[in-house]
Amino acid sequence: MTTLRLVLADQLDRAVAALAGLDAGADVVLIAEVAEETTYVPHHRQKIALLFSAMRHFAEVLTADGVHVDYVRLDDPANTGSLGGEVARAVARHGAARVIATEPGEWRVRRAMDGWEASIGVPVEIRADDRFLCSRDRFAGWMSGRKAPRMEHFYRDMRRLTGLLMDGDAPAGGRWNYDADNRGRLPKEVVVPARPRFAPDVTTQSVLDLVAARFPDGFGDLEPFGWPVAREQALAALEAFVADQLPGFGDYQDAMKRGEPLLFHARLSAALNIGLLRPMEVCRAAEAAFRAGDAPLNAVEGFIRQIIGWREYVRGLYWHFMPGYAGTNALAATRPLPGFYWTGETDMACIAETVGEIRRSGYAHHIQRLMVTGNFALLAGLAPVEVEAWYLAVFADAYEWVELPNTHGMALYADGGIMASKPYAASGAYIDRMSDYCGGCRYDPKVKAGPKACPFNPLYWNFMIEHRARLAGNPRMALPYRTLDRMDARRVSEIRADAGRILAALEEAPRWLPRN
């Protein structure tokens, strides 16, 4: 009896659930490049190339292991263009009696999969994705009875569960969280260590040619392309990060610098999210560096917290609150996404720089995502669905399970405070403190009103005024509301007028959408 085992583009792990119990003599593994998945948002062209190249490399590994892989290429004339269509075709081709898949990372795909049994006519088993450390059931148990889930509590639970950075029952160093040590601005003399790039091999080059031909007007530069596309490369990237950047990860985690998109960040999310790396091996490598005295605790704790804390937490929230989660809009934000999110053509240097980096590489680090593009979208009241489609498209590491809670909840507060205890709203002063962007900007973060004023300034206070009813009661917002209450009426009307002008101009700004 032939079983068809489906492996999606972000499930490229030999130990993925769908491959457990594989009978190499009888079973067929289906991996399919399909048009529908390349176009549901206009993905960055490097993201498409990364996935196709990684899928093809993974297929080569399985084939070398004696597994029968049925690999469908995007340009196969018989390709139906959808995952469901390709599963149906493969079932017929191989006379498969059943299908085994691993749960996908997006509600949209899960809903489609739930219909396959009826449309294809064979049993379809959808297995839990056990590449995560916290199962959906465990997360549901953790959530039960909690009024306000908080990442910090979840994280401690995960530290105990994994034993990472634990000395017996106590956290290493005596504290659970060293975040307070991790807010440094980057001193001028600090040199950011270089990191490996993975030059395209023949497989990647043929994918790059395919993507260039198929998506000539797609978003983002296709080359230079240097993503790790196979497990050995991802392991090399991990090793280099642990040796070279991890020691500085904590101190400069929130810093931003022109021309230095990576700083001390790992750039491992893309590899982690598609299965080339496993979360525990990444954390163990970081912990080993601490135990060997090669990286300080504030760096290693901060890094491990991102993975066993935030990463697992957002995944738990996603499945717990979907599908309703995506439809909430607590701040009633409705403005359309201005075209400069795609083109980078704006006088705001922080946004131009961040979008430029994204266009070139499919990457921006967390603070750029949260406090530059996210903060602006929050303050300007941009419509969550449009902002979320942008985040899902432009980053090489974006899948809805991780993108949505971070965007909808953390950046936009559209969930009304499930994910974040207060909006991450900030004026130009924050960006000026944490970056060198403002020095090259036509606006001035210290100017509060008039044409030279940094747009983040009036928008920040206007946001506070507009959402007073919802936010003023939040003790964590007490300080800005006290400041607002001390402002004289003339200042408040200047803010309103400036913000009104900026928002009106935004609504008239050219809109743009890449064509995939």
Question: Which residues sit at the interface with ligand FAD, rule CB under 6 A?
Answer: 265-269, 272-273, 303, 306-307, 310-311, 314, 365-366, 369-370, 374, 391, 395, 397-398, 402-403, 406-407, 410-411
Judged by CB under 6 A, the residue of 18, 299, 317, 349 near ligand SF4 is: 349
| Interaction of residue 454 with ligand SF4, rule CB under 6 A | yes
DSSP conformational letter for 172: G
| Interaction of residue 9 with ligand DLZ, rule CB under 6 A | yes
Judged by CB under 6 A, the residue of 456, 460, 461, 463 near ligand SF4 is: 456
| Interaction of residue 303 with ligand SF4, rule CB under 6 A | no
| Interaction of residue 296 with ligand SF4, rule CB under 6 A | no
Structural tokens at position 14 = 């030999």
Q: Under rule CB under 6 A, which residues in 351-410 are in contact with ligand DLZ?
A: 399
Q: Supply the minimum distance, in Å, between the C-beta of residue 375 and ligand SF4.
A: 9
Site string for ligand SF4, 409-428 (x = CB under 6 A): -------------------x
Structural tokens at position 168 = 């017996």
| Interaction of residue 13 with ligand DLZ, rule CB under 6 A | no
Rounded to an integer, what distance in angstroms lies between the CA atom of residue 358 and that of residue 362? 5
| Interaction of residue 350 with ligand SF4, rule CB under 6 A | yes
Strand partners, 28: 4, 68
| Count of residues interacting with ligand SF4 (CB under 6 A) | 15
Rounded to an integer, what distance in angstroms lies between the CA atom of residue 222 and that of residue 496? 42
Residues with Cβ within 8 Å of residue 427, at least 6 apart in sequence = 445, 454, 456, 457, 460, 461
Strand partners, 125: 100
Angle at 366 between CA 132 and CA 148, to 5 degrees: 60
Structural tokens at position 310 = 């935030």
Question: In this chain, which stretch among 6-14, 137-145, 300-308, 454-462 interacts with ligand DLZ, using CB under 6 A?
Answer: 6-14
Q: Choosing among ligand SF4, ligand DLZ, ligand FAD, none, which partner's interface includes residue 38 (Cβ < 5 to 8 Å by kind)?
A: ligand DLZ
Q: For residues 68 and 136, which CB has a smaller minimum distance to ligand FAD in the complex?
A: 136
Q: Choosing among ligand FAD, ligand DLZ, ligand SF4, none, which partner's interface includes residue 106 (Cβ < 5 to 8 Å by kind)?
A: ligand DLZ
| Interaction of residue 419 with ligand DLZ, rule CB under 6 A | no
Rounded to an integer, what distance in angstroms lies between the CA atom of residue 234 and that of residue 232? 5
Q: Supply the minimum distance, in Å, between the C-beta of residue 87 and ligand DLZ.
A: 10
Among 301, 72, 74, 54, residue whose Cα is nearest residue 165: 301
Under 8 Å between Cβ of 270 and 237: no
| Interaction of residue 100 with ligand DLZ, rule CB under 6 A | no
Q: For residues 39 and 206, which CB has a smaller minimum distance to ligand FAD in the complex?
A: 39
The one-letter amino acid at 516: N
Going from the C-alpha of 405 to that of each of 57, 88, 158, 323, the distances in angstroms are 30, 32, 19, 12
Strand partners, 29: 5, 69
| Interaction of residue 200 with ligand SF4, rule CB under 6 A | no
Query: Does 224 sit behind a cis peptide bond, omega within 30 degrees of 0 on the bond before it?
Result: yes
Judged by CB under 6 A, the residue of 222, 237, 330, 438 near ligand SF4 is: 438
Strand partners, 296: none
DSSP conformational letter for 29: E
Q: For residues 382 and 402, which CB has a smaller minimum distance to ligand DLZ in the complex?
A: 402
Q: Supply the minimum distance, in Å, between the C-beta of residue 78 and ligand SF4.
A: 50
Residues with Cβ within 8 Å of residue 381, at least 6 apart in sequence = 331, 332, 333, 334, 335, 463, 466, 503
Residue carrying the six token digits 């079932």: 91
Judged by CB under 6 A, the residue of 5, 13, 49, 106 near ligand DLZ is: 106
Q: Supply the minimum distance, in Å, between the C-beta of residue 113 and ligand DLZ.
A: 10
Question: In this chain, which stretch among 102-110, 259-267, 280-288, 329-337 interacts with ligand DLZ, using CB under 6 A?
Answer: 102-110
Strand partners, 3: 98
Q: In a 10 Å sphere around its CB, with 0-12 CB exposed, 13-18 middle and 19+ buried, how is residue 14 labelled?
A: middle
Q: For residues 32 and 348, which CB has a smaller minimum distance to ligand DLZ in the complex?
A: 32
Site of interaction with ligand SF4 (CB under 6 A): 348-350, 428, 431-432, 437-438, 441, 443-445, 454-456
